[in-house]
């Protein structure tokens, strides 16, 4: 019984070792050189066992899946680097104001007789906002009309008498001047009467009204403010390094600090012609359509815009490796692996922009580089898709 048990244990261990050998030969690329040295490669291939690192036609490997240096060439995933535009995302805080704003003030001294507009209401240009007591002004207009009528009748009499020789040329000139003076007096009286009606100088929303019927206003007294907030203007500042790349027409996003979830889209409308020496910033203005009338003038707005820059090679984020001398990538040049130093310019979600001396036909390895050595041939298992250019 003891001998039979030993034979069973020996057979079981032999099966385990054979299975381990088969798995090692099939899935570990480094097993191929060892099998070559012990002469087991031919035997395993004869029984149809697939070996890790076996060459494929057109892969650039030597007979039996080996590279020219006699070592097995690993399989990698590689793709060419593509040119992508560098984009700087800039943020700034600005204060919103209406596209048009005007203070409504009285031009004359007078008592408020009627307030025609309500605070918060929308008015068109020329809409009556308030009216002052105009009794004296109406009397002045009537007096001026009577004086004009008298001057016109006097001139008419002189015209009828001109043929009799009883009227001199000087008399006619004086009468004509009197008519013109009466006309001007009527225009002045009419203008004074019109000034008793305070009208909206611009279209927009009426603010709080600082007077009620019965209040006296002096000349220049501000009654209210009318602001057109259908479109907002936001002034902001950016660092001087972006001054040369900032231009009118660029798209911009606006987010009120009081409601970060609200996103309005506008564009840059103006850029200052110089950088402020004290702050080292450049001023600019953006126009933001206020759809739904959700933002009020005076609110703090966070602005975000993407400013395009130069073109740089773009590679897969997995391709970036780090060593003692900094970042590098593995590239395949005519099927041979080489280390290429790179300088990371910008990291994005799907790509990394780098500065490097790429050759025109270089393929950048993104997976499988753990088994690469400089000067070693490699098999391209999958050619990765080229990343699209920014804005494409």
The CATH number for 117's domain is: 2.40.50.100
Q: Do 173 and 150 belong together in one domain?
A: yes
- Closest by CA position to 72, among listed 88, 56, 91: 56
Considering the entire predicted model, what is its pTM? 0.54
Confidence at residue 386, expressed as pLDDT on a 0 to 100 scale: 44
Say whether both 240 and 283 belong to one domain. yes
Q: Are 243 and 327 contained in the same domain?
A: no
pLDDT of residue 64 exceeding 70: no
Are 225 and 103 contacting, i.e. CB atoms less than 8 angstroms apart?
yes
Which range among 27-36, 70-79, 88-97 has the greatest average pLDDT? 88-97
Q: How do 75-79 and 379-383 pair as beta strands? A: parallel
User: Could you tell me if residue 165 is inside a domain?
Assistant: yes
How sure is the predictor about 350, in pLDDT bands with cuts at 50, 70 and 90? confident
Q: Cα separation of 253 and 173, whole Å?
A: 70
**Domain stop point among 283, 307, 331:** 307
Mean pLDDT of 237-253: 89
- Rounded CA-CA distance 49/26 in Å is 7
How much is the CA Rg of the chain, to the nearest whole Å? 44
Residue 57 lies inside a defined structural domain of this protein = no
Q: What pLDDT score does 63 carry?
A: 39
Mean pLDDT score of the chain, rounded to an integer?
82
Band of pLDDT at residue 66, cut at 50, 70 and 90 = very low
Q: Domain check: are 235 and 293 in the same one? A: yes
d(CA 289, CA 295): 10
Q: Report yes or no: 225 and 257 within 8 Å, Cβ to Cβ.
A: no
Residue partners of 328: CB distance under 8 A and separation at least 6 = 321, 322, 339, 340, 341, 342
Secondary structure E strands in 316-355: 321-323, 326-333, 336-341, 343-347, 352-355
- Kindly list the distances between the CA atom of residue 34 and the CA atoms of 25, 38, 70, in Å, as whole numbers in the listed order: 9, 6, 12
Question: Band of the pLDDT at 3, cuts 50, 70, 90?
Answer: low
Each residue of 102-161: pLDDT tens digit?
999 999 999 999 999 999 899 999 999 999 999 999 999 999 999 999 999 988 888 887
- Pairing of β 300-315 and β 75-79: unpaired
Contacts (Cβ under 8 Å, ≥6 apart) of 306: 87, 88, 89, 90, 251
Which pLDDT value is given to residue 143? 94
Q: What domain count does the chain have?
A: 5
Name the band, by pLDDT with cuts 50, 70 and 90, for residue 189: very high
- Distance, CA of 129 to CA of 123 (rounded, Å): 9
The mean-pLDDT minimum among 42-51, 239-248, 378-387 falls in: 42-51
pLDDT at 185: 93
* pLDDT tier for residue 167 given thresholds of 50, 70 and 90: confident
CATH number at residue 273: 2.40.30.170
- Asked whether residue 295 falls in the same domain as residue 234, the answer is yes
In a domain, 66, yes or no: no
Final residue of a structural domain among 307, 326, 360: 307
Same domain, 151 and 232: no
Residue 367 lies in a domain: yes
For residues 48 and 6, membership in a common domain is answered with: yes
Evaluate if residue 48 carries a pLDDT over 50: yes
- Indicate whether 27 and 121 sit together in one domain: no
Question: Quick one: average pLDDT of 344-369?
Answer: 87
pLDDT, average across residues 294-298: 89
Is 302 within the bounds of a domain? yes
Residue 268 domain flag:
yes
Asked if residue 83 has pLDDT above 80, the reply is yes
277 and 260, same domain (yes or no) = yes
Q: Look at residue 62 and tell me if it is in a domain.
A: no
* 306 half-sphere exposure, CB direction, 13 A CA radius: 7
Answer yes or no: do 293 and 364 share one domain: no
pLDDT band at 177 (very low <50, low <70, confident <90, very high): very high
Is residue 392 very low, low, confident or very high in pLDDT (cuts 50, 70, 90)?
very low
Output the pLDDT for position 280.
92
Nearest in space to 192 (alpha carbons), one of 145, 115, 134: 134
What is the three-class DSSP state of 147? helix
Nearest to 325 by CA among 343, 338, 310, 313: 343
What's the helix, strand, coil split of the chain in %, to 5?
Answer: 30, 40, 30
Tell me what pLDDT residue 346 has.
85
335-to-54, 55, 205, 330 alpha-carbon distances in Å: 16, 13, 71, 12
Query: What band does 34 get if pLDDT is binned at 50, 70 and 90?
Result: low
In three-state secondary structure terms, 146 is: helix
Gap between the Cα atoms of 137 and 132, Å rounded: 10
CA 146 to chain centre: 66
**Predicted pLDDT of residue 32:** 56
User: Are 114 and 156 contained in the same domain?
Assistant: no
CATH number at residue 186: 1.10.287.470
- Please give the DSSP secondary-structure letter assigned to residue 67: -
The verdict on residue 356 lying in a domain is yes
Within this chain, do residues 128 and 209 fall inside the same structural domain, yes or no? yes
Q: Which of 168-177, 201-210, 288-297 has the lowest average pLDDT? A: 168-177
387 three-state secondary structure:
coil
- 138: domain range? 134-195
Which residues are 123's β-sheet partners? 204
Of 174, 132, 122, nearest to 151 by C-alpha is 174
Q: Report the pLDDT averaged over residues 335-354.
A: 88
Choosing from 307, 339, 357, the residue where a domain stops is 307
């Amino acid at each position: 019984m003891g001998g039979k048990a030993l034979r069973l244990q020996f057979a079981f261990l032999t099966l385990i070792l054979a299975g381990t050998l088969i798995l090692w030969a099939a899935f570990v690329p480094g097993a191929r050189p060892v099998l070559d040295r012990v002469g087991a490669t031919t035997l395993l291939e004869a029984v149809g066992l697939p070996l890790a690192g076996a060459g494929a036609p057109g892969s650039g490997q030597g007979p039996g899946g080996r590279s020219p240096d006699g070592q097995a060439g690993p399989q990698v995933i590689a793709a060419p680097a593509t040119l992508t535009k560098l984009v700087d995302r800039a943020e700034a805080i600005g204060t919103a104001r209406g596209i048009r704003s005007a203070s409504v003030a009285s031009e004359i001294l007078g008592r408020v007789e009627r307030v025609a507009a309500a605070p918060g209401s929308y008015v068109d240009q020329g809409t009556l906002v308030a009216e002052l007591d105009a009794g004296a002004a109406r009397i002045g207009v009537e007096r001026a009309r009577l004086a004009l009528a008298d001057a016109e009748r006097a001139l008419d009499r002189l015209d009828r008498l001109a043929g009799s020789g009883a009227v001199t040329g000087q008399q006619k000139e004086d009468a004509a001047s009197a008519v013109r003076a009466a006309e001007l007096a009527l225009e002045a009286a009419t203008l004074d009467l019109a000034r008793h009606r305070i009208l909206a100088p611009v279209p927009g929303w009426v603010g709080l009204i600082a007077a009620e019927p019965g209040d006296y206003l002096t000349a220049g007294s501000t009654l209210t403010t009318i602001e057109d907030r259908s479109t907002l203007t936001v002034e902001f500042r950016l660092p001087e390094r972006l001054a040369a790349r900032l231009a009118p027409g660029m798209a911009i996003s606006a987010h009120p600090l009081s409601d970060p979830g609200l996103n309005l889209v506008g564009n840059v409308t103006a850029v200052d012609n110089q950088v402020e020496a004290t702050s080292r910033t450049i001023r600019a203005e953006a126009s933001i359509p206020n759809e739904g009338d959700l933002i009020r003038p005076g609110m703090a707005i966070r602005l975000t815009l993407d400013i395009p820059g130069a073109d740089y090679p773009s590679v897969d984020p997995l391709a970036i490796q780090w060593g003692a001398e900094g970042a590098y990538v593995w590239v395949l040049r005519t099927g041979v692996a080489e280390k290429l130093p790179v300088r990371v310019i910008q990291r994005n979600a799907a790509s990394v922009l780098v500065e490097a001396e790429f050759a025109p036909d270089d393929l950048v390895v993104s997976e499988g580089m753990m088994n690469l050595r400089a000067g070693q041939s490699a098999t391209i298992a999958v050619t990765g898709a080229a990343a699209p250019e920014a804005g494409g």
